[in-house]
Structure formats: structure tokens, C-alpha cells
């Protein structure tokens, strides 16, 4: 019998076990506050080191936590990594690029540095994040969009649109409306991230059969501070993407674990 355990699973489970053991140690020895302070200081220094290295400014902690659900030493490095992944997945020219759901510009900043001669736009529903971006990031044109389409962009504005961890949070009807809008404003390719199989463990076991049959599940798991109530967790199978997203685009490729050091799957689409 073939053992279906990947390298990612082994690393993930080992890290979880070590984390739990360490949390228990801190609790038993009453040293939580000390270790939390030490970790936060390390994260801050590490981010400042990377920020100086790449000539960028880290967003305030609460804006980082809003989009990556934590305060991590490699926040800036993750943006560079994802930018490289997106640009290598996307075929075609990249003269006009849109980051849809850009948050605090984690990916838009390195994309603009990798493509210094392109026009880079970035948009999000979060006015606080966009306000911070406008005041701290040069070389990207930022916008706030409404929860529902349309955007202000004319038809066929972009030869590349990407969305990192956005469709992973939208309900089905909203996904369809945004796919329609992205099709309108794109004249080339799109790279959209989705929760792949490694995230399916978060689906409650009782609804897994329904999920596998429908290929789509929208999990209400609480709200994120600063974001609207609809912002939850969405899971979809590759078959669902091919049949449903295939109504809007040619699905060129669905690449497993292609985004964020193996975190999300990438759907590469082409406007017909
Ligand atoms: C997990 S964060 C990812 C942010 C950014 N793409 C990154 O990787 O750093 C998801 C982002 O999607 C944005 N978002 C959610 N619904 C949106 C919508 N309908 N239009 C634009 N942005 C949206 C949220 O405000 C949030 O900033």
C-alpha cells in the first residue's frame, strides 16, 4: 500500500506538535509573557532587517494580522516569494497588472519592483489598508473598491490580474460576480489562488460528502477584525473550478501548492 504523506504534511505536523509542546511548557512554567515579548521583538527586528534589505516599509502589526492571521518574521519575504511565483505562473505580457484584494500591498510592492516598466494597480475593499498603502508605497496606484462589482477600471485594462487569498474567502454568488468583473477588465491572463487539498481538513467531517459532491463549501468560522462578515473560508475542488470558473475563462492550469511556499493552489486562467 502506498503511503500518501507528503513532505509538506510531515513538516506541518511536526511544527504543530512542537508548537503545542512549547505552549504547554510556557503555560506550566508561567513564562508566556516573557516568551511572547521575545518573539514579538524578534519578529519586529527580522521584518526591519528585510525591510531595509528590500527598501520597503512593513505595515503596522494589526494590518499584517488582518491579512495573514498572525505576526510573522517572514511577512515581507512571503510577499517577494508570492510575487515571484505569480510572475512565473503567468504567461503573456505584463505591461498592465492588477492586484485584486491587495491588502497592505504585501505582493503588489515586490511585483512593482520586479516589473519596473509596467503599470501596477492594486485594489481592496479595506479603506484603512489602502490609506496606509497610499501613504507608504510608491510606484503602485491604489484604489478602494466596493464589496460588489463593478470596479472603476475600463474594459480590457489589464493583461495580468492576480488575486492572492481572496477567492479563498468569498461566498459563491460573490465569487461569480467578481469573476465576471475580472473577465471584463482583463485582456490576458489571471492567476487566482484557492485553498487546495491541504486545507480541506478544515471542512467539518459531517459536510465532507456534500463538499465532494458539489465541489464547493463556504465555512462560516467567525469574523476577521476590520473586514466584513462575508469574509469567511471557502473551499473548492479542481473539478468545480474547471466546470464553474471554466464558464468565465479558459482554465489553462491548476497547479497544486504553487503559491506561498506551498500554501495555496494556483488557478491560471485566460480570457477568451
Ligand atoms: C487574506 S487577505 C490577502 C491580501 C493580499 N492579497 C496578500 O496576499 O497579502 C484577503 C484580502 O482580500 C480583500 N477582499 C475581500 N473581498 C474583497 C473584494 N470583494 N474585493 C476586493 N478585495 C477583497 C480583503 O480586504 C483582504 O485584504
CATH number, residue 164:
3.40.50.150
* Phi and psi torsions of 96, nearest 5°: -130, 120
Is 23 a domain residue? Answer: no
The SS3 of residue 16 is: helix
CA 157 to centroid of ligand 1, rounded, Å: 20
List the one residue out of 44, 117, 106 whose CA is nearest residue 80: 106
Is 52 a domain residue? Answer: no
Task: Decide: 145 in ligand 1 pocket, CB within 6 A.
Answer: yes
CA 18 to centroid of ligand 1, rounded, Å: 31
Residues in the chain: 272
pTM attached to this predicted model = 0.90
> Look-up: residue for cell 493583461?
159
Element (H, E) at 7: helix 7-29
pLDDT tens for 26-74 read 888 888 888 888 999 999 999 999 999 988 999 999 999 999 999 999 9
> Residue 257 in contact with residue 177, Cβ under 8 Å?
no
Distance from the Cα of residue 110 to its chain's centroid: 14
> Look-up: residue for cell 506550566?
28
Whether the upstream peptide bond of residue 150 has omega within 30° of 0, thus cis, is: yes
Provide the greatest CA pair distance for the chain. Answer: 61
What are 106's three cell numbers? Answer: 504585501
Mean pLDDT of 76-97: 97
| Minimal-distance CA residue to ligand 1 atom 2 | 67
Is 38 a domain residue? Answer: no
pLDDT tens for 214-258 read 999 999 989 999 999 999 999 999 999 999 999 999 999 999 999
Is 99 a domain residue? Answer: yes
Is 94 a domain residue? Answer: yes
Number of domain units in the chain? 1
Is 139 a domain residue? Answer: yes
pLDDT range class, residue 18, cuts 50, 70, 90: confident
Task: Decide: 87 in ligand 1 pocket, CB within 6 A.
Answer: no
Find the domain containing 255 and state its range. 79-270
Mean pLDDT of 165-183: 98
Is 101 a domain residue? Answer: yes
Is 45 a domain residue? Answer: no
> Look-up: residue for cell 504534511?
9
Phi-psi label, residue 109: left if phi above 0, alpha if psi -120 to 50, beta otherwise: alpha
Task: Decide: 110 in ligand 1 pocket, CB within 6 A.
Answer: no
Task: Decide: 161 in ligand 1 pocket, CB within 6 A.
Answer: no
List the one residue out of 139, 142, 164, 159 whose CA is nearest residue 151: 142
Amino acid at each position: 500500500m502506498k503511503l500518501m504523506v507528503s513532505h509538506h504534511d510531515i513538516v506541518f505536523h511536526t511544527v504543530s506538535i512542537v508548537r503545542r509542546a512549547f505552549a504547554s511548557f510556557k503555560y506550566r512554567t508561567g513564562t508566556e509573557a516573557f516568551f511572547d515579548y521575545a518573539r514579538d521583538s524578534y519578529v519586529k527586528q527580522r521584518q526591519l532587517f528585510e525591510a531595509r534589505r528590500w527598501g520597503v516599509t512593513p505595515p503596522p502589526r494589526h494590518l499584517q494580522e488582518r491579512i495573514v492571521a498572525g505576526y510573522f518574521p517572514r511577512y515581507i519575504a512571503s510577499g517577494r516569494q508570492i510575487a515571484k511565483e505569480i510572475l512565473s505562473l503567468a504567461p503573456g505580457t505584463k505591461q498592465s497588472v492588477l492586484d485584486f484584494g491587495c491588502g497592505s500591498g504585501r505582493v503588489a510592492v515586490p511585483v512593482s519592483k520586479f516589473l519596473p516598466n509596467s503599470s501596477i494597480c492594486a485594489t481592496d475593499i479595506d479603506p484603512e489598508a489602502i490609506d496606509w498603502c497610499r501613504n507608504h508605497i510608491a510606484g503602485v496606484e491604489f484604489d478602494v473598491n466596493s464589496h460588489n462589482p463593478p470596479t472603476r477600471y475600463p474594459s480590457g485594462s489589464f493583461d495580468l490580474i492576480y488575486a492572492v487569498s481572496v477567492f479563498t474567502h468569498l461566498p459563491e454568488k460573490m465569487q461569480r460576480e467578481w469573476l465576471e468583473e475580472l473577465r471584463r477588465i482583463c485582456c490576458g491572463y489571471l492567476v487566482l489562488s484557492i485553498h487546495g487539498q491541504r486545507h480541506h481538513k478544515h471542512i467539518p467531517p459531517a459536510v465532507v460528502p456534500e463538499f465532494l459532491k458539489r465541489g464547493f463549501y463556504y465555512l462560516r468560522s467567525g469574523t476577521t477584525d476590520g473586514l466584513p462578515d462575508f469574509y469567511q473560508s471557502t473551499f473548492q475542488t479542481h473539478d468545480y473550478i474547471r466546470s464553474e470558473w471554466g464558464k468565465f475563462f479558459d482554465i489553462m492550469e491548476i497547479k497544486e501548492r504553487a503559491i506561498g511556499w506551498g500554501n495555496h493552489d494556483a488557478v491560471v486562467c485566460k480570457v477568451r
